[in-house]
Every structure is written in structure tokens, then in C-alpha cells.
Amino acid sequence: MSIRGELFTTQVVLDKRAYFFNVKENRNGDVFLQVVESKSNNGEEFDRHAIVVFEEDMQKFCKGFEETLAFIEKDKKNKAKAKIAKEAVNKKKIYKKSETEQKTLAPRVKKTGRVHVVSKLSEQK
């Protein structure tokens, strides 16, 4: 055990933040987890924030953390499903006419530039 009572430490580095997960032991022999967030300000100074979770509360802490992760995953899946459903509704469906449909419609429709003229005579046939 080192001078500061650190038993184990690991670090997760992100963009301008670093997270430290420190397992420590105090003078009474109590083991606890210290989670520290260190954020860079202007490249010179660091803001540090820490939380401490004691050994007897670790199971409850982990259970709450796992429930939170499960909610985030479920919410992520629901949002993805909603996005797919929304895209399906907004997507225009294009149907291609079969050759027989094209032949039966061909005599009735006369194309003149951008306007399509439908003859009433061909509809009566």
C-alpha cells in the first residue's frame, strides 16, 4: 500500500477530460472507491471533482449504475426504432407499372410537354 492508501487505480482519458477510478484504504482499514473527474481549463489549470463510494455501499452503487446503463441502452434502441419508422413513413413509395398496365394506359394518355392530357374517348372504350 502506498502512502496515500491507494490499492488500485485506473484511468480513462477522453477529449479534455480524464476519469480516475481509485480503490483506496483509509487509516481505519475501510476500503472505498474514489471516482475523480479531471477537466482541463485553458491547458494550464485542471478542475477536479470526486465522489467516494464506501465498500458497504458498493453493491447498491453498482446496481444503480447498471440500471442506468440498461435504461440508456433501451432508450437508444427505442430512438433508433422510432427513427426507422419515421423514415419509412416519410419515404415515397415508387411503383413500377407492369407491361400490361403500360399497354392499357398508353392509348388513353397523350403527353404534351409537361401536361398529360387524358382523352375521354379512350376512357369509354
What are the DSSP calls for 51-87, one per residue? Answer: EEEEGGGHHHHHHHHHHHHHHHHHHHHHHHHHHHHHH
pLDDT of residue 46: 87
Instruction: Tell me the pLDDT tens digit for each residue of 31-41.
Output: 999 999 999 88
Question: pTM of the entire structure?
Answer: 0.59
Q: What local confidence, expressed as pLDDT, does residue 106 receive? A: 53
Other beta carbons within 10 angstroms of residue 5's beta carbon come to 17
For residues 118 and 109, give the distance between their C-alpha atoms in angstroms, rounded to a whole number.
5
Residue 58 pLDDT exceeds 90: yes
**Which pLDDT score is estimated for 102?**
61
Looking at residue 93, what is its pLDDT?
A: 60
Domains of the chain by start residue, with CATH = 6-73 (3.10.450.700), 96-125 (no CATH)
More confident residue, 21 or 92: 21
d(CA 79, CA 104): 45
Half-sphere exposure of 88 (CA within 13 A, CB side): 6
- For the cut 60, the answer to whether the pLDDT of residue 8 exceeds it is yes
Model confidence over 19-31: pLDDT tens digits?
999 999 998 889 9
CB distance 109 to 118 below 8 Å: yes
pLDDT beyond 60 at 55: yes
